[in-house]
Structure 1
Amino acid sequence: MSGRFLSIGECMVELSQADSGLLRKGFAGDTFNTAWYARACLPKDWSVDYFTALGDDPMSGEMMEFMQSAGIGTAHVLRIRGRTPGLYMINLTNGERSFSYWRDSAAARQLAADGDRLREAIEASDVLYFSGITLAILPRDDATTLLAELRRAKAVGKPVVFDPNIRPRLWSSLDAMHSTISEGARASTIVMPSFDDEAAHFGDGTIAETISRYRALGAAMVVVKNGADGATIGTDDGEILVPAERIDTVVDTTSAGDSFNGAFLAKFVIDNDAVAAARFAAGVAAKVIGEHGALVPAEKLGL
């Protein structure tokens, strides 16, 4: 079975520390990272496309070329005159990572401004993926447009997958964050939260509470990631814990959740077996955190 996987969100320019005080340039972003790992894990007869907005500057062109070289389709990427991509820099202090962002005028904030083009991209796809960050960076009306189109896709039976990926500083208020994240879940078939986020920002005391809350909002399946404690799958059939795969040395946890999501969905859309998909994704995520950087090449994943 072939199909089209569409990931919707923001890819940014990444600056990380290199030798001699220099900075290394890359490209990354939560939904793009997931698209990267979905592409690495899906059969070749599946296409993986990215929906975002970029500028008309050289850096936007370079980012487009990078996506294409990774086998990720860019036909639905909007190009906006006078705009540029967002940028973030990784700061390292005694091995601990922190981030500085420059994204207020990023082109990706306008990715849902053209509702017709958004609908065209969604209608051309079989599986849709988005995140809480996707919703957070959009103007309120544009977020409403995106959610309406995703609800239409869900209503006709397309899998719509949502990672809440909660980042409070991107939201105008906690009320806006809580209500919009909940609306994102209502538009979705599968919700893939991280338990530490849900405990911190929704007050969930247990994974069962997280599953129950998102199931009550209309998700048919909830896959709660909980780091080294594995992932719990909640459906009508109950809850199943799939253990994480242990590794000796954790090098870099960047993109652990994104890689799990991409690998899980790649396996699940083919076999429709959530437990097998979670076991496969745990193996991929274990390899990712054993390497540096958000985007680990497929050959290092053993795929």
Structure 2
Amino acid sequence: MTRFVSIGEAMVEMAPLAKSGQFQMSFAGDTLNTAWYVRQLKPLWDVSYVTAVGQDQMSDQMVSFLQDTGIDTQYIQRLNNRTVGLYLIALKNGERHFSYWRGQAAARALAADPGTLDRSFSNADVLYFSGITLAILEGNGRARLLRSLARARAAGKLVAFDSNLRPRLWESDDHMRDWVTKAAETSDIVLPSHDDEAVHFGDAGPKATCERYAALGATTVVVKNGPGTIHYRHAGKSGVMQPAIVSDVVDTTAAGDSFNAGFLSQFVGGVSIDLAIHAASNVARRVIKGRGALVPL
């Protein structure tokens, strides 16, 4: 059985309901979304989530939600005087805009203890994290997380990373670029989105994004590009794929997260990179036709 471990921040999600002016509460977050979709796509896999939550009622509800979906919660830390973050989605023509409340989020301390991280990673086959995972961490948490991932990688674990650039979470753009680069150097698979990379790293096109991350040592790079051409590089060879056009987009929330789940669930299972990208695009296409981050497949 493949053991997939996702690391990051789970939040309360408030998503707008169609034409009602009301909101529906759920739980989501970029790495949680990917874990949730992997769980749907690979029911025989052991999917775990590594984070920290509080000891309040909302944290209890979140842990129960994860357990009810079949995600292993044994490595979720419970911290005093903390709670879980919240975000609200506003939609315009299918594009989403977020407002966040996460100052007291327990997930900011998920990497406080390297021993806890090492134990969480010890039985994993695949470890997955993102730029948001790094961005929210307090103190020396970023360095501790990357050191633990490096030890796991040296022990034969596969490490996958989505750069997921969110400059508002970082002290500066320079800090963001520096830590994202360090994270990519720690990873076997990198799954960036070209639009963000072009803005913050100056990449001229998806091919440039692909080549930059490959040069940092990643064996596999797949550059998401919205409805545009996907560029990839694997084991020294490059290629492109054009996803099918989606005309009836409802909500692009978790498009990239679900793509990552579709790709990793196939590629790690031994499917060729072309077929894995095709499967990932199909998953994302289904997700953006629904509302909210977690859309039943």
Residue identity opposite 2:32 in structure 1: F
Structure 2 equivalent of residue 174 of structure 1: 173
Between structures 1 and 2, the one with greater helix share: 1
Q: 1:221-232 alignment to 2 at 5 Å?
A: 221-232=220-231
Residue identity opposite 1:291 in structure 2: G
Contact 1:119–1:149 at 8 Å: present in 2 too? Answer: yes
Structure 1 equivalent of residue 100 of structure 2: 101
Structure 2 equivalent of residue 91 of structure 1: 90
Identify the range of structure 1 (224-233 vs 279-288) with the bigger mean alpha-carbon deviation: 224-233
Give 1:91 deviation, angstroms: 2.7
For the residues of structure 1 that align with 2:223 and 2:246, how far apart are their CA atoms? 20
For the residues of structure 1 that align with 2:95 and 2:202, how far apart are their CA atoms? 26
Tell me the TM-score normalized by structure 1: 0.94
Structure 2 residue 34 is matched with structure 1 residue 34: yes
Superposed CA deviations along residues 239-273 of structure 1, whole A, max 9, x for unmatched, are 11122123331111111100000111001111242
Structure 1 equivalent of residue 239 of structure 2: 240
Contact 2:95–2:251 at 8 Å: present in 1 too? Answer: no
Give 1:238 deviation, angstroms: 2.1
- The percent identity for this pair of structures is 51
Tell me the TM-score normalized by structure 2: 0.95
Which runs of 5 or more structure 2 residues have no equivalent in the other structure?
none
Give 1:231 deviation, angstroms: 2.0
For the residues of structure 2 that align with 1:21 and 1:248, how far apart are their CA atoms? 24
- Give the SS at the match of 2:252: coil
- Give the SS at the match of 1:271: coil
Structure 2 residue 146 is matched with structure 1 residue 147: yes
Identify the range of structure 1 (132-141 vs 89-98) with the bigger mean alpha-carbon deviation: 89-98
For the residues of structure 2 that align with 1:109 and 1:141, how far apart are their CA atoms? 11
Structure 1 equivalent of residue 182 of structure 2: 183
For the residues of structure 1 that align with 2:44 and 2:93, how far apart are their CA atoms? 44
Structure 2 equivalent of residue 51 of structure 1: 50
Q: 1:93 to 1:271 in 2, by over 3 A?
A: closer
Contact 1:41–1:267 at 8 Å: present in 2 too? Answer: no
For the residues of structure 2 that align with 1:208 and 1:153, how far apart are their CA atoms? 29
Which runs of 5 or more structure 1 residues have no equivalent in the other structure?
none
CA RMSD of aligned residues (A): 1.5
Give 1:274 deviation, angstroms: 1.3
Identify the range of structure 1 (126-135 vs 151-160) with the bigger mean alpha-carbon deviation: 151-160
Give 1:295 deviation, angstroms: 0.4
Structure 1 equivalent of residue 294 of structure 2: 295
- Give the SS at the match of 2:117: helix
Structure 2 equivalent of residue 60 of structure 1: 59
Contact 2:94–2:249 at 8 Å: present in 1 too? Answer: no
For the residues of structure 1 that align with 2:91 and 2:273, how far apart are their CA atoms? 36
